């Protein structure tokens, strides 16, 4: 699946991932390939990216590696998943 993480400043990440876990308002949830379409509000927490991903050097310091995932901390936002593409609009 394709994941894009967009902040007000720039697109932080765009690429192919195995899956992604996000902090939804009702708790953390994960999406895999071909997940059903969904739109969700996000709360403070980590966007956890699963898979071997390549980060641009300009933004790599904003990510952390934790237990086999690559994490990006957000304070809130919105997620849209459709057509095997997840877009996270993050604060």
CA angle (40 as vertex; 14, 3 as ends), nearest 5: 10
Q: Is the pTM above the cut of 0.75? A: yes
As given in the structure block, the two tokens for residue 82 are 């459709």
- Choose the CATH number for 2-90 among 2.40.30.200, 2.30.30.30, 2.60.15.10, 3.40.50.2300: 2.60.15.10
What average pLDDT is seen over the chain?
Answer: 95
Cα 26 to the center of its chain, rounded Å? 17
Contact in structure between 42 and 50 (CB atoms under 8 Å): no
Which pLDDT band, with edges at 50, 70 and 90, does 43 fall under? very high
Nearest-angstrom CA–CA distance, 69 and 87: 18
pLDDT in tens, 16-37: 999 999 999 999 999 999 999 9
Give me the residue spans of the domains in the chain: 2-90
């Amino acid at each position: 699946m394709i994941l894009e993480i967009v902040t007000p400043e720039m697109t932080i990440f765009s690429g192919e991932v195995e899956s992604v876990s996000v902090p939804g308002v009702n708790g953390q949830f994960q999406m895999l390939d071909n997940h059903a379409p969904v739109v969700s509000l996000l709360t403070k927490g980590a966007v956890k990216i699963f898979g071997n991903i390549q980060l641009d050097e300009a933004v790599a310091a904003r990510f952390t590696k934790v237990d086999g995932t690559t994490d990006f901390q957000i304070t809130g936002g919105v997620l849209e998943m459709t057509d095997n593409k997840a877009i996270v609009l993050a604060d």
